[in-house]
Amino acid sequence: RENAVVHLSQLLTYPVDNYCELVQGAPQFPAEEFPEAAARLRGFATLTVDYSLTRFQELFTYTFDLNPICCLEVGWQLHGEEYARGTFMVAMRDRLRSFGIEESGELPDHLCHVLLLLGRMDQDEAAEFIASGVAPALTKMRTGVEGKDNPFEQVLLAIESFCGVLSGDREEVGHG
């Protein structure tokens, strides 16, 4: 599970040097445990097989940085600019610290950190966190790419499926 969350987390960070290899390595995602997520990541790899690093960077920026509907900060998705987001970020920073996860240059509520946190939580704690925040945030994020022929839709669908398995809600998610 830890390798799976690291892989997903890396796909949601700004593309750098080895990003193309990381995407093409998606077929090694643990398909036995997460079949739908693995299938979605294979789809992402197939859709982007000819992408250069520059093209990934442009698509990533367009998708997640310039499109507020699809921003990767879970707290923003849940609370917008309300005071509650600050409280959520403080709680996230405490959780990250308590699980020994170092923050990157991203904010503590960034989905890349959330995924790493889910990978270290026990199933009950992960299920509660997914239900209370991660799943609703992912649903909002996905609306920013849904039906727009954006390959990152496959990554977000993979994460939704992964979270479904992790929380024990379902074995697979059947999105279009």
- How many other C-beta atoms can be found within 10 angstroms of the C-beta atom of residue 23? 22
Q: How far is CA 45 from the centre of its chain?
A: 16
* pLDDT, one tens digit for every residue, the chain (176 residues): 778 888 899 999 999 999 999 998 765 678 888 999 999 999 999 999 999 999 999 999 999 999 889 999 999 999 988 999 999 999 999 999 999 999 888 999 999 999 999 999 998 999 999 999 999 999 999 999 998 999 999 999 999 999 999 888 654 434 44
Stated pTM of the model = 0.90
Residue 40: is it exposed, middle or buried by C-beta count within 10 angstroms (0-12/13-18/19+)?
A: buried
Contact of 121 with 104, CB cutoff 8 Å: no
Angle in degrees, CA 10, 13, 18, rounded to 5? 60
